[in-house]
Amino acid sequence: MGITYNDGKVLYEGAVISTYTACERVMSDIYADVAYAIVWDEDWSCVKTINYAYYFELADNNGIAVVDATDESLASAAAYAAGRTAGLVKAAAFAAADKAELEAAKVAALAAKRAAVLADAPRVGDSVEVTKAAGSPKVEKGVTGKVVWSGWSKRHDASWRVGLKTAAGEVCWLPATAVKVVAKGSPTDPPGTKAPAASESAPPPVKGAEVTVASGDGAGTRGRIIWVGTDRSSGAARVGVKAKNGDVVWTAAANVASTEAAA
């Protein structure tokens, strides 16, 4: 019987494969059940979804669908579905190949861009001058200092950044494009190293030692070492000294002098 409408018209006889109903918005403020039939369309040689009924007051030409697909219709529909699936698989393969080629091109472009950046990028140990105000904290144009860290930005794939330690001892983080190299690091003075101070010939500080902070941060403080570590920027030894009043001073190990042996 196929799909028979109220006006007597019959379509897709012997070609209705299945039917289903869905609740849909049929007008701006009306929801109703809508009936569909999956059919084999011989004229177009494809499977179609046909809406044949709206179940609400204003629908005037609803139909009735009867599942009656012949073996020939079912075979044609199955062949169509298999061909469509094969086509989708082939299209997906082409899309995957295109994506892989695009990704490879992006990787190559990024590698070339990074190589160009590294050609004259400032490195640890270089002396640089700030050419435009930038960084965190902000560094004004004309400030000079030494690079104590350099590396790729975590936010931008081909952006080189530096940690600049100024003459005042402050470390600022800024893009390499904001500085220019005024002197390369000396081959005899590996990047990140510093000349040893006279006090460094003495035994290294140890936790529990009673010391006096002779210079730098907390100068004049007397107390006990409660922490020994290294500076994340320069790698120099640092200590935490707890004074008798409970205050803790964090300073370079080279700034302290022992007053007595460790307890």
Cβ–Cβ < 8 Å for 224, 241: yes
Average pLDDT over residues 77-103: 90
Establish whether domains 127-183 and 198-260 are of one fold: yes
Cβ–Cβ < 8 Å for 135, 172: yes
How far is residue 47's CA from residue 29's CA, in Å, rounded to a whole number? 32
Domain boundaries, the chain: 1-119, 127-183, 198-260
The CATH-assigned architecture of domain 127-183 is Roll (2.30)
**In the predicted model, is pLDDT for residue 146 greater than 70?**
yes
Q: pLDDT tens-digit profile of 188-199?
A: 444 443 433 433
pTM here?
0.40
**Residue 207 — pLDDT band, cuts 50, 70, 90?**
confident
**In the predicted model, is pLDDT for residue 45 greater than 60?**
yes
Least confident range of 73-77, 82-86, 88-92, 226-230: 226-230
What SS3 class is residue 93?
helix
**Residue 263 — pLDDT band, cuts 50, 70, 90?**
very low
| pLDDT of the residue at 188 | 42
Cβ–Cβ < 8 Å for 160, 147: no
**57, two tokens:** 């007051």
What SS3 class is residue 251?
strand
**187, two tokens:** 């081959």
**205, two tokens:** 């500080």
| Per-residue CA distances from 255 to 75, 208, 212, 222 (Å) | 90, 16, 8, 12
Average pLDDT over residues 50-65: 91
Q: Which of 212, 201, 202 is nearest to 239 (CA)?
A: 212
How far is residue 248's CA from residue 225's CA, in Å, rounded to a whole number? 9
Secondary structure percentages of the chain, helix, strand, coil, to 5: 20, 40, 40
How far is residue 153's CA from residue 160's CA, in Å, rounded to a whole number? 6
Kindly report the CATH number that applies to the domain delimited by 198-260: 2.30.30.30
